[in-house]
Chain A
């Protein structure tokens, strides 16, 4: 059996850029590699991506393994599982880090089972156990009500990491590293589930994952019209509108605005939660915010346990007055 050694980070590429979650993976990967005294490899998979390997090295990798093939242009489940299986068997890393996003959620479990190992999804902390030198994998469970620390018995020890839970290094363009090319060996017929179309539901204004301020509403908002009032405040603060799950399930707002464990996980500077009770599943999506402000009529609502500032009251009365005052203060 091959000896598994070193740390590898799967670097997802979109629009010819390495995604932030991958640079965050390289950041924590560098730390783990240093703790173990081993190498950090970046794995880049895509089409026409050769120019990005130096960037992965600048973000902390000792070497880059590149799989460049026209069939890998967009993420396709079967293609990426096959290619990553091949890469892992070739480079045999002890630890493989991926991102907890659209492709990571799909790719990581299938790859783990294909390789006969396991993956711990959505990790918020990773460290090396001093005694066993195995990876301690911390992840929220029970919708964020609790956290669990797992270790895996099999190699590679696979994890996906939560967005913004780890920190990327400042890129250092002078870093040097070896670049290896690995052939994909794919046939079009390997791809069983085929993407026919990618539908993007456009949202007006700034994207929620990029916004520094998010104004989010919950079940208590009650209607699409209510969300227009939230939109007004968001516009004033140059932010975006978000929602907990009930407004999305009721079609008051598009599903893409959902903040939570199964929606977007965001970490804005300011998160204003209006008529949101603060279920664990929702808090999983916004607890990384720098400051949470809550408006809720229930003083016992869970949201106030994590909020820094709050008002207990009916949002229908509080929000217009708050928006007006904010407008006045911003103008002064």
Chain B
């Protein structure tokens, strides 16, 4: 099994909301003093690939796209057990939308050539869109299953469980196929010391737009089909009315009274 996993470097979504800031001049978000991370759903996709490798053996290739990526961050999937890392790293790739990002990733996947499965996270924690994965599938003409919680490969067919709002669907798909992975796949494993040492020795392969035979005008900001007009933080009015009391029990009773007065009970 040759598995390609696409991951993205993002600002840490687990950092406290109080340090989240937007630079109005550049329409960009930042987390002050907190290093970037691999997008959590991308990590779930790496975990899904590692689970398949355990039962079917094979090779896992990680692809990530960006302008200046922290080696420490993008090497984490290698430390978890992936085998190779390809970075689409160039200023030209920066500030793209789903369209230009999927276009570049699909071109890179075509250059890799041999693959049975392509895995992505169900959505990135910054854009919350969930488009890049299905977009790659469309560009490459591949079958696609989104929001997956389990994958079994048998006799050239993938048997997949897709999360639904009231349970799950069991779906059979031919391979090669693209799947987007949800958190129900199970917690991503921690890198082992051995894994971290192995990752140190793996040099990422860097592909510029010319390396994937694509015009710089087709990737990143230049290749976008959507325009970001404005990025802003919604204002919440802080007007919580606290029920007080000498004890927790008394405060609880006072809360019930307040809700009754407000005709909520």
* Interface set of A (CB-CB < 8 Å, partner B): 77-78, 101-102, 105-106, 109-110, 112-114, 117-122, 136, 139-143, 145-154, 192-201, 209, 237, 245, 249, 255-256, 261-262, 264, 269-270, 279-281, 291, 293-295, 302, 304-314, 317-322, 325-326, 329-330
Contacts and interface: CB of A to CB of B under 8 A. Distances in A.
B240 interface: yes
Given A142-B125, A192-B173, A322-B256, 17 more contacts: A105-B130, A110-B144, A113-B139, A141-B126, A142-B128, A146-B232, A152-B225, A152-B226, A152-B227, A200-B166, A209-B165, A269-B264, A280-B17, A291-B262, A309-B258, A322-B252, A322-B253
B155 interface: no
B129 A121 contact: yes
B170 A102 contact: no
Contacts of B260: 329
A196 to B, nearest CB: 5
B35 interface: no
Contacts of B170: 195-199
Nearest to B182: A262
B98 interface: yes
Contacts of A117: 225
Main secondary structure, interface of A, reads mixed
Contacts of B14: 279
Given A305-B236, A319-B252, A110 B167 contact: no
A118 B97 contact: yes
B72 interface: no
Contacts, number: 249
A209 B174 CA distance: 34
A214 B167 CA distance: 20
In the complex, which range does the number of interface residues on chain B fall in?
A: 35 or more
B240 A304 contact: yes
A310 B227 CA distance: 40
A143 B241 contact: no
B154 interface: no
Nearest to B236: A305
B8 to A, nearest CB: 13
A302 B164 contact: no
Contact of A261 (B128, B160, B171, B231): B128
B205 to A, nearest CB: 26
B134 A109 contact: yes
Contacts of A237: 265
Nearest to A307: B240
Contact of A318 (B16, B130, B236, B252): B252
A313 B251 contact: yes
B13 interface: yes
B243 A310 contact: yes
Given A102-B165, A113-B134, A141-B126, A309 B249 contact: no
A330 B265 CA distance: 7
B210 interface: no
A118 B99 contact: yes
B62 to A, nearest CB: 22
B238 interface: yes
Contacts of A109: 98, 129-131, 133-135
Which 8 pairs, one residue from A and one from B, show the smallest C-beta to C-beta distance? A317-B248, A325-B256, A321-B252, A113-B138, A321-B249, A322-B252, A109-B134, A109-B131
Contact of A143 (B128, B174, B252): B128
A306 B134 contact: no
B233 to A, nearest CB: 5
B76 interface: no
Contact of A200 (B138, B167, B249): B167
B29 A309 contact: no
Contacts of A256: 165-167
Contacts of A308: 239-241, 262
B170 to A, nearest CB: 4
A141 B259 CA distance: 33
A73 B150 CA distance: 25
B138 A114 contact: yes
B13 A143 contact: yes
B193 interface: no
B122 interface: yes
A39 B184 CA distance: 42
Contacts of B184: 255
A65 to B, nearest CB: 23
A329 B259 CA distance: 10
B226 A199 contact: no
Contacts of A105: 130, 146-147
Contacts of A154: 225
Contact of A136 (B167, B229, B231, B242): B229
B138 to A, nearest CB: 4
A295 B233 CA distance: 25
A251 to B, nearest CB: 10
Nearest to A281: B13
Contacts of B171: 193-196
Contacts of A148: 228, 230-231
B143 interface: yes
Given A146-B29, A199-B170, A330-B265, A121 B128 contact: yes
B167 A199 contact: yes
B199 interface: no
B42 to A, nearest CB: 14
B246 to A, nearest CB: 12
B163 interface: yes
A82 to B, nearest CB: 12
